[in-house]
Amino acid sequence: MIKLIPIEKLLPGMYIHDLNCGWMEHNFVRNRFPVKSSEIVDKVRALGVHELYIDTSRGLDLEEAPTQEEAAHEVDEALEAIAIVAPAQQASVQHEVQRARNLHSEANRIVRDMMGDIRLGKQIQLEQIEPLVERIVDSIFRQQDAMLPLARLKDHDEYTFQHSVSVCALMTSFARTLELPREIIHEIAIGALLHDVGKAKVPDQILNKPAKLTDAEFAKMKSHVVQSKIILQGTPGISQIALDVAAQHHERFDGTGYPNRLKDDEISLYGQMGAIVDVYDAITSHRVYHKGMAPTEALRKLLEWSKFHFNPTLVQAFIRAVGIYPTGSLVRLESRRLAVVQAQTPENLMQPVVKVIFHTRGYYLTPETVDLRHSQDRIVGHEDFEAWNIDPARWLPE
């Protein structure tokens, strides 16, 4: 049986089923392993996790701990409460799709070139970045469902660049949902696009290592945050808002983050937002040695972790920004059909517009667009594209 226990109750002899933190937040080789000694207990506690899952069939039990199903029920209830408040109305997806795709490709190229320049010791030219950022903000304001699905399409070799563009788009949508002023959103988006520039100072063999990092390599990777701050502080015209996004996106609400172990309101609003978005994009992305989570499962994890690591109110706002079943994700309908989410709807995040494409009996269907607000069918869960051998890029909104 899988149970959720507080970190204080972790003992040698237990078997960890899930460390319950983002995979980039630790450098254990596996997420599941036996706790063989008090030294392992200490190392797990040092991660800053407050709760984790144990497998009582493979190790010691904790009788009073809730089961995984009981913990999941609590998260489900919270998601249902969030679903009744939705993002603002936007234009139709079709009108924005091609423009968003072209912009996404251009942004990836610009960030790749910029990181190369930083490696050569060149300074960031903000006047080259600002027009790009403004076009991304414009696209998200016109129709976020055109650009946000592109955030999940990443190549292993270009993850660092594509992650930066994805975080920029997601942060823009997040800030829009919070109804922040347009000029503030622009600065947030700049900070998001540049939040990982310090990785230009991290060796490629560490950035692209197809295995877990050693302790020394992990420390070098974590140093990118300080490097980002140094680089941006030397960038003429950079705002404090953009600097906060980059310098604080690995801080955690409970003080367990890095580099400065800031907590609560010591972290700016923009740093708190950056932390949420950075983790979401990281844990939903496929890497050489790590399979990304389905978007809905990642949102469930963020909600669960918001008890400690993130501002709960902001996590709920982020979920409203992207939807319970984010655009571009694969869902299972009550009719046993699989569908790709095409657009969010203003009335209820549990009833998006979807494109039905596949039957769980194992065959493709004639594609059909269905607005679940006006259908007897309903979503009963999320699915994994890879498990059904379906290419997500083929079914992007169009």
Of 16, 25, 93, give the one whose Cα is nearest residue 51: 16
CA distances to 203, 225, 297 from 310, rounded to whole Å, are 30, 18, 17
Q: How many whole angstroms separate alpha carbon 168 and alpha carbon 148?
A: 10
Predicted pLDDT of residue 89: 62
Give the model's pLDDT for residue 161. Answer: 87
CA distance 76 to 219: 36
**Phi/psi at 369 (5° precision):** -85, 130
Is the preceding peptide bond at 259 cis, omega within 30 degrees of 0? yes
Dump pLDDT digits (tens) for 198-238.
Answer: 999 999 899 888 778 888 999 999 999 999 999 999 999 99
Token pair of 344 as six digits: 């969010």
Listed residue (186, 171, 180, 176) closest to 129, CA to CA = 186
pLDDT tens-place string over residues 148-201: 999 888 876 688 889 999 999 999 999 999 999 999 999 999 999 999 999 999
**Tokens 């600002």 appear where?**
130
